[in-house]
């Protein structure tokens, strides 16, 4: 990893910045009367009341900026003036989620008996809430630890035999590539790569490329939904329709999807969907979603089991067995409540409006190449760009040093995908995007 956190190949090494300084952290907890459960509940009720009044005051927000989002921004716990425009690896957590996390961790501190007596009961409520949030049935939702685990559960749990074919794109994340490589070595499955052109063209081209690669031996298409290298939002709905007509399953790697997009599993139609709600949704690191369509459940074996895997009906049989920090499950429920208070469609609109503003600003700079589509159906909160003659790492370092603004490098020179990747989450303002654009402009004009 290099100085300001840019690195070329390995997303798992992505740097982290921020966090509450110790002094402020203690102050924040003390503000909740030494972190009693009643005080934490009261803190959250106050926060939600303030969002409700903001919603009443600002029913329409045509412009992506303004008082509404300034207030929402204050509900995040950033250190100083940190401008966090990288939601890869992990994103930030808003206050109510942090409060809930503390509240439930406190149970283990004060009365561990309640960890197995009282906490497990509420977890099904979180599963229901998550199911509703993504338009799925509760028995299609498994609570995993992260996207990587969900992908492994699917790839490991399918009965595939020697000679069966899997289609992936040339833009997959190591968290999908690694398990497919293992499966291939272990079972003789053939992994075939479908090359997607850059710049991306459109729905037909993408779906057509996969359709053309299907043979009678193809069993599954495994594809990034939120493509981490280029920012493409793969048209999963159209892809699933085409694949299902040919009897092929679809696995979507949507590590960034939860909290960035207003998701509808029924409409998208894929069989398996893995996501990490701590990137864009504000949940704590270590809790994940694996959606398994009802019709696909008889094809998927669970992977990490104790007793009950053979009698449990529904996707909860895919939950990894063994103890876990239930506080994280509850905090996931709180993260969903937080986004629901703002409105998930409103969040998606804002994220896309900010991304469009960024692309507009960047496209005026000579030598800038944007790898992300402009079509809001094929793009959302991830934007990847490069500038002729300027190292991506230089841009990352410059804006970090000048504005305390965090973006990252992504992709590889050899594949022609090396770029600076920018996230435009709901708490970012157009002023901050202006800073980034100004920084890139300064580098181009003055070669600083």
Residues contributing to the site for ligand PLP (CB under 6 A): 11, 88-89, 146-148, 173, 175, 224, 226, 228, 253, 255-256, 276
Nearer to ligand PLP among residue 89 and residue 184 (C-beta)? 89
Please state the closest distance from residue 276 (CB atom) to ligand PLP, in A: 3
Half-sphere exposure of 68 (CA within 13 A, CB side): 21
Q: How far is the CB of 52 from ligand PLP (least distance, A)?
A: 32
Q: Give least dist CB 148 to ligand PLP, A.
A: 3
Find the shortest distance in angstroms from Cβ 259 to ligand PLP: 13
If DSSP codes are grouped into helix, strand and coil, which group holds residue 219? strand
Least distance (Å) from ligand PLP to the CB of residue 254? 7
Strand order through the sheet with 368-370: 368-370, 382-387, 419-423, 408-410
C-beta closer to ligand PLP: residue 97 or 440: 97
The span from the CA of 64 to the CA of 349, in Å, is: 8
Give, for 109, the enclosing helix (H) or strand (E).
helix 95-110
Q: What is the DSSP letter of 80?
A: T
Closest separation between CB of residue 291 and ligand PLP, Å? 15
Dihedrals phi, psi of 320, to nearest 5 degrees:
-60, 130
- Smaller CB distance to ligand PLP: residue 98 or 273? 273
Distance separating alpha carbons of residues 380 and 358, to the nearest angstrom:
11
What are the structure tokens assigned to 266, written together? Answer: 């029924």
Contact (CB, 8 A) for 146 and 320: no
Comparing C-alpha atoms, which of 21, 55, 51, 47 is closest to residue 99? Answer: 47
What is the distance between the alpha carbons of residues 186 and 21, in angstroms, rounded to a whole number? 47
Q: How far is the CB of 278 from ligand PLP (least distance, A)?
A: 7
- Decide whether 141 or 440 has the Cβ nearer to ligand PLP: 141
Task: Compute the distance between CA of residue 290 and CA of residue 274 in angstroms, rounded to an integer.
Answer: 5
* SS3 (DSSP) at 240: helix
- CB closer to ligand PLP, 146 vs 417: 146
Of 255 and 296, CB closest to ligand PLP: 255
Span between the terminal Cα atoms of the chain, in Å = 23
**Closest approach of ligand PLP to the CB of residue 228, in Å:** 3
Question: Residue with structure tokens 């992709």?
Answer: 411
Taking the least distance from each CB to ligand PLP, the nearer of 147 and 393 is: 147
Mapped onto helix, strand or coil, the DSSP state of residue 18 is coil
Comparison of 11 and 18: residue with beta carbon closer to ligand PLP: 11
Residue count of the chain, please give it: 448
């Amino acid at each position: 990893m290099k100085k300001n956190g840019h690195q070329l190949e390995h997303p798992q090494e992505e740097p982290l910045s921020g966090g509450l300084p110790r002094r402020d952290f203690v102050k924040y907890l003390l503000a909740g009367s030494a972190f009693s459960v009643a005080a934490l509940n009261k803190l959250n009720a106050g926060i939600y009341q303030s969002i409700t009044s903001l919603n009443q005051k600002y029913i329409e927000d045509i412009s992506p900026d303004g008082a509404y989002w300034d207030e929402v921004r204050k509900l995040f716990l950033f250190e100083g003036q940190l401008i966090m425009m990288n939601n890869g690896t992990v994103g930030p957590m808003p206050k109510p989620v942090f409060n809930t996390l503390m509240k439930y961790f406190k149970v283990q501190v004060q009365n561990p008996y309640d960890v197995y007596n009282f906490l497990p009961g509420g977890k099904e409520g979180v599963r229901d809430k998550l199911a509703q949030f993504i338009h799925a049935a509760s028995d299609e939702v498994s609570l995993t630890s992260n996207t990587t685990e969900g992908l492994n559960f699917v790839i490991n749990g399918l009965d595939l035999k020697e000679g069966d074919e899997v289609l992936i794109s040339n833009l997959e994340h190591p968290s999908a590539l690694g398990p497919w490589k293992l499966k291939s070595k272990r079972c003789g499955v053939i992994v075939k790569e479908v090359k997607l052109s850059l710049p991306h063209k459109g729905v037909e081209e993408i779906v057509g490329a996969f359709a053309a690669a299907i043979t009678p031996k193809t069993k599954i298409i495994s594809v990034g939904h939120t493509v981490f290298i280029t920012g493409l939002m793969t048209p999963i709905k159209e892809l699933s329709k085409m694949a299902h007509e040919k009897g092929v399953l679809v696995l979507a790697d949507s590590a960034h999807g939860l909290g960035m997009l207003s998701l509808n599993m029924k409409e998208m139609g894929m069989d398996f969907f893995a996501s990490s709600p701590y990137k864009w949704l504000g949940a704590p690191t270590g809790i994940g979603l694996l959606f398994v369509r009802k019709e696909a459940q008889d094809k998927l074996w669970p992977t990490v089991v104790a007793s009950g895997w053979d009698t449990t009906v529904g996707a909860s049989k895919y939950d990894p067995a063994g103890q876990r920090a239930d506080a994280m499950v509850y905090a996931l429920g709180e993260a969903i409540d937080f986004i629901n208070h703002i409105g998930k469609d409103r969040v998606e609109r804002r994220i896309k409006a900010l991304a469009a503003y960024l692309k507009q600003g960047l496209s005026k700079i000579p030598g800038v190449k944007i790898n992300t589509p402009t079509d809001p159906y094929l793009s959302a909160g991830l934007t990847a760009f490069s500038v002729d003659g300027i190292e991506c790492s230089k841009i990352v370092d410059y804006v970090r040093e000048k504005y305390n603004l965090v973006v990252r490098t992504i992709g590889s020179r050899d594949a022609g995908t090396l770029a600076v990747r920018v996230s435009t989450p709901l708490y970012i303002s157009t002023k901050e995007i202006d800073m980034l654009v100004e920084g890139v402009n300064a580098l181009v004009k003055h070669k600083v």
